[in-house]
Amino acid sequence: MILRNTIAGQLVVLLLIYGRHTLLSSAKTVTSEQMSLALPEPRAYLPDAQNLDFVYHDHEELTRFLRATSARYPNLTALYSIGKSIQGRDLWVMVVSSSPYEHMVGKPDVKYVGNIHGNEPVGREMLLHLIQYFVSSYNTDQYVKWLLDNTRIHILPTMNPDGYAVSKEGTCDGGQGRYNARGFDLNRNFPDYFKQNNKRGQPETDAVKDWISKIQFVLSGSLHGGALVASYPYDNTPNSRLLKGICRSSALCAMFQTYSAAPSLTPDDDVFKHLSLVYARNHAKMSRGVACKSATPAFENGITNGAAWYPLTGGMQDFNYVWYGCMEITLEISCCKFPPAYELKKYWEDNQLSLIKFLAEAHRGVQGFVFDPAGMPIERASIKIKGRDVGFQTTKYGEFWRILLPGYYKAEVFAEGYAPREVEFVIVEQHPTLLNVTLQASKYNVGSARKPKKERKQRHLLHDELQTPNE
């Protein structure tokens, strides 16, 4: 999409990979081939530069702001569109990074998605302010500088611009504007791991699916309104069909959900809880777990498992995690779905630190490269952390990332034509663990190890049988 594919660029990439590999190979490392990368200490954030008004911006104003910002900060931003809504509005993505046009080899890509529900636009405005804050404080805030120097941040302020166009400011509840122009709920429109989703794919959803398939996002947040909680996968549960059969009236359904909804936990539950807590605890009040209304639940520490709150089919966060190993959580940041504009400044003050600190979590855990014996990167090598049944794959540069909490881990690394390997490594709190793995050609495949590339299969990675050579 925006990755420049020049010969010079490829040379730089190869030099970077080769240089890094040489460095690591020559270092006296332990058997896990482990190295550390020091991170700076976070600093207190600075107040917003306030170059962007605290008002709601319609699609034309939003487009103007993004274009003006990318023109003003060409070294920190790049603007691209991942497609159009049904009514022809561009789904703009702003990259904010010190390398906006090129993927930085070895450094993670992360994303935020706002306004998937058109009538929940606080997130949409927060993301514009986040863009503004990043570009205006890069030279003055060391933490922001470190984040942008080491991360490519992709921001889609509105996934549902058509829904937004028919939403009404001041409307705290209700469904007008929630759906896209054809009446589809976009957060029920993704393929589902637990249940066949028969909803017709919408252009907005297809654009996001295509986007996710092209860039390996490590971490993601989807911004909503109508509650104050960080919610994590799974949103769906193996029992959702049963639940649907019981739910004949909405009142009964609500009662059933309140008293009977069971958590539906992923193998990365510790990580998802941690990520949700990072958001909630850096937020001005989310972690207090105060209920929005007396009839709605109060969430302990401001976080919840999605299915434990209420199960849903076709949600975006489950899709990100199960299909691409991207750790996405859902951030409900306003009790009122579409609060009056004069409250936006307060929402920004409440969310600013959370929005920044959450993204830095992409630098927690393990990251590295998978190489062949000649030191060339292996694309689409499969990696699985033992005990966590979601596999993930290397990029075309052989890179991988996995967010993990401190502890001892074992990774299983497989690639077609190579002998599989198990590698042990340690995660510490202070910095990510760098782990480079060299795979030897399988003895049955010597001379034909480098097979032609295959298209990424459109199927989930969870519980996939990883291809193991017959050894």
Name the percent of the chain in helix, strand, coil, to the closest 5. 30, 20, 45
Instruction: Classify 111 as helix, strand or coil.
Output: strand
* Strands annotated E in 263-365: 303-305, 327-334
- In one-letter notation, the amino acid at residue 217 is F
Whichever of 224 and 363 has its CB closer to Zn ion, that residue is 224
Closest distance of CB 178 from Zn ion, Å? 7
Binding positions for Zn ion, rule: CB under 5 A = 117, 120, 224
Whichever of 52 and 333 has its CB closer to Zn ion, that residue is 333
Closest distance of CB 46 from Zn ion, Å? 30
Distances (CA, A) of 45 to 18, 42, 301, 355, 402: 37, 9, 23, 11, 27
CA distance 54 to 161: 19
Closest distance of CB 163 from Zn ion, Å? 10
Active site residues: 332
**DSSP label of 45:** P
Place of tokens 């502890």: 407
Cα atoms in the 13 Å half-sphere on the side-chain side of 183? 0
- In one-letter notation, the amino acid at residue 390 is V
Whichever of 337 and 402 has its CB closer to Zn ion, that residue is 337
Partnered with residue 34 across adjacent β-strands are 435
Whichever of 177 and 368 has its CB closer to Zn ion, that residue is 177
Whichever of 173 and 210 has its CB closer to Zn ion, that residue is 173
* Contacts of 409 by beta carbon, 8 Å cutoff, 6+ apart: 366, 385, 386, 424, 425, 426, 427
- Give the rounded distance of the alpha carbon of 251 from its chain centre: 34
Q: Which H or E element spans position 228?
A: strand 227-232
Give CA angle at 364 (300, 219), nearest 5°.
70
Closest distance of CB 330 from Zn ion, Å? 8
Whichever of 118 and 417 has its CB closer to Zn ion, that residue is 118
Closest distance of CB 119 from Zn ion, Å? 8
Closest distance of CB 187 from Zn ion, Å? 6
Place of tokens 């190890």: 449
